């Protein structure tokens, strides 16, 4: 194809001749036997192993930037039989942007095999809604927070305020943004969302117009035994940031949530659902517009399965899969953040936006594909070990509750869910009781309170014992 022709042309022009093209492989039978820039088309994809052996090739280059998931999987299967390393050209959307060249080869990534279609964004609406404004991001050094920073920093902001409780993560994102966007006014604060006084000073000083609240604890098994910390950070921390936004005149507050908040089977999901409820109900009492954006797993985020599987593969296995039927929704960090920005300019206040995550992916399939991308064979070179569901885990995640009616929005990848109102006085009492229980390390009370506010919680056993329970 045209990408293969451009790739060979660029390789032949390279004065260092790092790669010497030996042959083309193309499924178009009409091209067989032709020569392009002196390089012959020797057969189709199925003949790749035989051709590679005959020519003593050292590397396979995949030059199909428009390949969908099924095409990429078929090509990878043929490449596997050669036992050779392989690289791919960038996807078509990156080539069309003009930011990369066809000869900028990279490794095939798991994203290439999951088949997520490129997201078409209304950049005019995003720029119109966010450019020239002051933005604050909590959890600015995390997986979602840092990518939000990168995307938002290119919108000609008035200023960008970073709030992060990890010194190292804050240092990294501040340095990166400073190098990439030297003209942007960046203000970094090493701060914890559980500290109301610090947040008040930050909001009072900078008066952010839009707040993206990405700070959260998210590791399900760990938080099953840390309900106090989950509630302090995910609920009370959200309350603190939300009230600071309200008190200091922020125009919009965007809560980053999770599909684990739907019919939660764990402390983490229930604490995030409680945060959703608080923000949606505060919206009715505030001049600030509060919206929630809910989505599933992000590929490659800290502590997620992809980096864990890669680490296990590098060590020779086995790769630990909880259950052969476990499924999860996945999207890339970049895609998630783009849709968060899009949702932020769609929202008027009170909405729960649900990102279209596509089809769920079996975790076993994910593990098998990562093993193949490493040049190994699942079950032969690298074993897959089933370890069973851990506390708080479900086989399947859901993106919305059965009582939440989904409605379309102006963007095809973003849906809107109706929320369940809670009397404000009841919600206020709940928050006060939760804060008292946190201060007393009363985790049984916290678990009972969480079940009361989130009655759809399906596992009531998690979090009933504190790591530092006060037994006096």
Query: What are the structure tokens assigned to 37, written together?
Result: 């820039």
Q: Do 191 and 326 share a domain, yes or no?
A: yes
Task: Give buried/exposed letters for 382-405 (b at 16+ CB in 10 A, else e).
Answer: bebeeeeeebbbbeebbbbbeebe
Q: Do 44 and 134 share a domain, yes or no?
A: no
Residue 272 contacts residue 312 (beta carbons within 8 Å): no
- The average pLDDT across 15-37 equals 82
Note if 272 is an active site residue.
no
Residue 413 domain-assigned (yes or no): yes
Q: Which among 260, 272, 394, 413 is annotated as catalytic?
A: 260
Residue 472 domain-assigned (yes or no): no
Residue 453 domain-assigned (yes or no): no
- What's the pLDDT at 105? 55
* Rounded distance between C-alpha atoms, residue 85 and residue 308, angstroms: 22
Domain boundary among the residues 108, 142, 161 is at 108
> What is the CA angle 297-302-307, rounded to 5?
85
Terminus-to-terminus CA distance in the chain, angstroms?
74
Residue 435 domain-assigned (yes or no): no
pLDDT confidence tier of residue 302, bands split at 50, 70 and 90: low
Residue 54 domain-assigned (yes or no): yes
Total domains in the chain come to: 2
By mean pLDDT, which of 334-348, 384-398, 421-435, 454-468 is the weakest?
454-468
Per-residue pLDDT tens digits for 353-393: 887 777 778 888 888 888 877 777 888 888 999 988 877 77
Residue 101 domain-assigned (yes or no): yes
Domain boundary among the residues 108, 137, 166 is at 108
Highest mean pLDDT among 6-15, 29-38, 58-67, 114-123: 29-38
Closest by CA position to 25, among listed 41, 39, 10, 9: 41
Residue 151 contacts residue 127 (beta carbons within 8 Å): no
The proportion of the chain whose per-residue pLDDT surpasses 90, expressed as a percent, equals 41
pLDDT at 210 over 80: yes
* Residue 389 domain boundaries: 123-417
Per-residue pLDDT tens digits for 147-201: 999 999 989 899 999 999 999 999 999 999 999 999 999 999 999 999 999 999 9
Q: Do 306 and 333 share a domain, yes or no?
A: yes
- What's the pLDDT at 96? 43
- What's the pLDDT at 4? 81
Residue 352 contacts residue 294 (beta carbons within 8 Å): yes
């Amino acid at each position: 194809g045209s990408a293969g022709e451009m790739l060979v042309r660029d390789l032949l022009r390279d004065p260092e001749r790092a790669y010497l093209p030996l042959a083309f492989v193309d499924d178009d039978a009409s091209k067989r036997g032709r020569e392009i820039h002196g390089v012959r088309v020797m057969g189709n994809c199925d003949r790749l192993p035989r051709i590679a052996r005959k020519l003593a090739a050292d590397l396979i280059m995949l030059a199909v930037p428009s390949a969908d998931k099924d095409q990429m999987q078929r090509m990878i299967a043929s490449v596997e039989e050669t036992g050779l390393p392989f690289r791919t050209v960038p996807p078509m959307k990156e080539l069309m942007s003009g930011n990369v060249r066809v000869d900028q080869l990279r490794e095939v990534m798991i994203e290439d095999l999951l088949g997520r279609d490129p997201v078409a964004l209304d950049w005019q609406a995003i720029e119109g809604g966010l450019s020239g404004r002051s933005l604050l991001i909590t959890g600015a050094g995390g997986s979602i927070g840092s990518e939000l920073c990168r995307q938002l920093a290119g919108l000609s902001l008035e200023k960008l305020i970073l709030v992060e409780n990890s010194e190292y993560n804050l240092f990294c994102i501040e340095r990166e943004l400073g190098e990439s966007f030297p003209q942007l006014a960046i203000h970094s604060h090493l701060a914890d969302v559980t500290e109301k006084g610090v947040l008040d000073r930050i909001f009072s000083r900078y008066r952010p117009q839009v707040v993206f609240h990405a700070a959260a604890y998210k590791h399900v098994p760990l938080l099953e035994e840390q309900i106090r910390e989950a509630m302090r950070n995910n609920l009370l921390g959200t309350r603190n940031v939300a009230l600071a936004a309200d008190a200091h005149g922020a125009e919009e507050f965007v809560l980053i949530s999770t599909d684990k908040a739907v019919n939660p089977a764990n402390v983490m999901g229930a604490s995030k659902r409680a945060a959703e409820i608080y923000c949606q109900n505060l919206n009715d009492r505030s001049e600030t517009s509060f919206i929630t954006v809910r989505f599933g797993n992000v590929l490659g985020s800290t502590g997620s399965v992809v980096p864990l599987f890669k680490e296990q593969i590098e060590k020779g296995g086995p790769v630990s899969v909880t259950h052969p039927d476990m499924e999860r929704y996945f999207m890339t960090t970049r895609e998630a953040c783009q849709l968060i920005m899009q949702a932020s300019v769609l929202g008027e206040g009170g909405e729960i936006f649900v990102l279209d995550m596509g089809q769920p992916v079996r975790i076993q399939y994910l593990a098998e594909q990562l093993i193949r991308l490493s040049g190994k064979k699942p079950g032969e070179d690298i074993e897959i070990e089933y370890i069973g569901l851990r506390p708080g885990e479900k086989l399947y995640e859901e993106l919305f509750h059965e009582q939440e009616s989904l409605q379309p929005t102006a963007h095809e990848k973003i849906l809107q869910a109706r929320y369940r109102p809670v009397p404000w006085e009841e919600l206020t009492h709940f928050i006060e009781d939760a804060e008292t229980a946190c201060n007393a390390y009363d985790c049984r009370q916290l678990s009972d309170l969480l079940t009361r506010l989130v009655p759809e919680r399906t596992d009531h056993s998690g979090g009933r014992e504190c790591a530092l329970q006060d037994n006096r």
